Structure formats: C-alpha cells, structure tokens
Amino acid sequence: MGLRNVRELGDDILRKKSKPVKEMTPRLSALIDDMFETMYSADGVGLAAPQVGVLKRIVVMDVSGERDQPIVMINPEILETEGEQTGSEGCLSVPGKHAEVKRAQRVKVKALDRNMVPFELEGEDLLARCIQHETDHLEGIMYVDIKTGPLLDNGAEEEEEGEDGTDGPSDQ
Ligand code: NI
C-alpha cells in the first residue's frame, strides 16, 4: 500500500498502449488500492495505470468530490457516445496545467470491476469526460494531443470559476 510515483508528460511510458488484464492478482489488487490513494492524495478525479508506470488497462475514478464513489474500470470499452461538451481539463501527468478539450457529453462504457465481473456504466458531464480521458491514457493519448485551446497555467489569469459557477479543471 502506498503512493505511486505519477509519470509526467515526456515520459515514454505514457505514450504506450496498455495491455488487457486477464486475471486479478494480489499484485494488481494492491495496484488498484495504491492508484486510489495516489489519485485522492493529489486531488484528482481519475487515474490510469500507465500514469503510475504500469501498462495495464486499469482505471480508477471518483468524480463525486466526496471521495465516496470510487469506480474501478478494468479493460474498459466505450460502447456509445452522444452529444458534445467543451470544458477545461487537467491531468495529474501534466501538473499545473489545463486546456479546453472537446469531449462527448455522454458515454456508455463496459468494463470489468475489480472482481473481474462485467458491468456497464453511463456517464455524462464530468464523469463522461473522465471516462474518455482515462480510456485515452490506455491508448497512449494525452489530452494535450486533442486540446482545442492553448495549454494554460493553473492559477494564471481570471481563473476558473466556470460560467456555471463550478470549480476549475479537475485533474485526471
Ligand atoms: Ni490524465
């Protein structure tokens, strides 16, 4: 148990494609626990295994803001997307930065839970954004590749009360 070192943009491992998980092992279970601990300690809403240097198709997320809705997705596959949203996005692997990224507004994903039991999940808004951001990580894609605006420093300029009064970008 413990915090894992988060790899940063420029590290080759973030550009590699992750491999499917075939079976749960004590080692992978410990990895998942560590990923949650690492994500929560950095105030992130999502983290993918390659971000901690493990090329496995494992994602953890919690967009609740209360740290009480942890979601594990193993071998996630997006089945459907719908609509469009444009908003600020950050990443624990690109610390201190954010940019505008266009994403689907709603997604449906299938995955395995940490007991390797299949489930489907539908998300919209931030959850949909997070699902897309994290599944991209498993393909070696970073949000900076697909951003629709300039890469900005957090805390610079007007900052980040969204028009709707929501918080600024959440790191994923
Ligand atoms: Ni990220």
Does the structure show a pLDDT above 50 at 163? no
CATH of the domain at 35: 3.90.45.10
**64 lies in some domain:** yes
**Where do we find the tokens 């993918």?**
48
**94 lies in some domain:** yes
**113 lies in some domain:** yes
* Ligand 1 midpoint to CA 143 (Å): 7
Active site residue 134: yes
**3 lies in some domain:** no
pLDDT tens digits, residue range 21-37?
A: 999 999 999 999 999 99
Structural domain of 82: 12-157
- In Å, how far are 14, 85, 91 from 97, measured between CA atoms? 17, 19, 8
* Ligand 1 midpoint to CA 22 (Å): 24
Report the C-alpha gap between 115 and 126 in whole angstroms: 25
* Candidate list 134, 157, 161, 163, residue with the active-site label: 134
* Ligand 1 midpoint to CA 18 (Å): 14
Q: What is the reported pLDDT for 170?
A: 81
* Averaged pLDDT, 48-75: 97
* Averaged pLDDT, 42-70: 97
- In Å, how far are 92, 111, 153 from 156, measured between CA atoms? 18, 38, 6
Residue 157: pLDDT band (50, 70, 90) is: low
**167 lies in some domain:** no
pLDDT tens digits, residue range 62-104?
A: 999 999 999 999 999 999 999 999 999 999 999 999 999 999 9
pLDDT tens digits, residue range 128-149?
A: 999 999 999 999 999 999 999 9
Q: Closest Cα to residue 143, out of 4, 9, 33, 21?
A: 9
**170 lies in some domain:** no
Residue 165: pLDDT band (50, 70, 90) is: very low
- In sequence order, the 6+-apart residues with CB closer than 8 A to the CB of 32 are 58, 60, 72, 114
* Ligand 1 midpoint to CA 106 (Å): 19
**163 lies in some domain:** no
* Ligand 1 midpoint to CA 164 (Å): 23
Number of domains in the chain: 1
Q: Closest Cα to residue 7, out of 51, 46, 43?
A: 51
* Ligand 1 midpoint to CA 122 (Å): 20
- Grouping H, G, I as helix, E, B as strand and the rest as coil, residue 26 is helix
**39 lies in some domain:** yes
